[in-house]
Structure 1
Amino acid sequence: MWRLFGWYQVQVSIAGYGATAGKGSGSTRILPVGSREHAFALFELVGPLDAAEITEYALPEGATRPTFNSPRRAWWASPVDRAQQAVTLLGDVTVTHAGRLTRRVMAIENSHIQELTYQAGPVDQLCNLASVRLELVGGPVRMRGSNLAPDDAAELIGRLRARQLPAPDKPMD
């Protein structure tokens, strides 16, 4: 119903903030309800993409130039939002799209991905599909490449495992 009114919400996952339940844990919802313009401005402010990249690659309506998306046979595993599921790799940033009824677009710098998990449950295996879960810090943002062709899922993992990670700090003498 939010789309009927042009409302948007922006949430973030921040290491050590809002990860535990309770009154003192803080909030990760930085825009509970707002206009598209406000949501895009906040997305640019806290995310890894600039305004032009958001407009070109990260619109909530769906992926415009995906690197990987769900094949037609994924309809059996995800009949409602198969066409919305996509992953876009942009240099050192990964963008995922999901949801037809509740559209979600998420972006992260690849160096912040903590681990990658290849998943192929019984329905995925019957449909010759696989998913890749991007393990992030605790919080509301959960990213995954859902219902991909197994070769695409393996390539996605390979490309993300080859990402440039930050150098560890040198220990003090």
Structure 2
Amino acid sequence: MRETSGWRRARRPSVVIASLVLASTALGGCAAFFGPHEKRADAQVLPTVGNAARGTVTFIERADGVQVTYNLVGLPPNSDHALQVHERGDCNAADGSSAGAVFAPAADRLKTGVRRAGDLGNIHADATGVAAGFVVATEVSLDGVRSVIGRSVLVAREPSDPAFPDRGVGTALACGAIRQ
């Protein structure tokens, strides 16, 4: 029996080495599978006073722009609304006005009649008041001067009109700060 115990002791280092090689191979495969981490930011959207809209908006940087995925509930049934990024990440005002103007990088602010980078487009709520989907925003990013991080996302009462980008879209139904 002593010889068997000695045999086990002699074999343990090679078993440990084989286990480590196997584990490193498996972990290396996992690293290749998961790839590099994507740039991502999220906003928990909460209703402004007197409204019921709420949900989440996620921003993920892709090669063709920022994918903005939204999942909102509590909107008026069968309605359209503008989804917009605003200058400040402040949703403390009862009507969302503390978020400031629609986001536009410095040079874009001087242009009139031009769609602002923060105007992400319109979303549609179904018969139950749910709006879910995504848009690809090519004019914003998650870093640099066009970054949406630290700003806020608002769901406006009215849809935006691309023919008249300077026209207001009504008060905000919901607001959420965009955080990494």
TM-score category (smaller protein): under 0.3
Which structure has more RCO (C-alpha within 8 Å, separation ≥ 6)?
2
TM-score w.r.t. length of structure 2: 0.23
Higher strand share: 2
Q: Which has the larger radius of gyration?
A: 2
Greater helix share, 1 or 2?
Answer: 1
Q: TM-score, normalised by structure 1?
A: 0.24
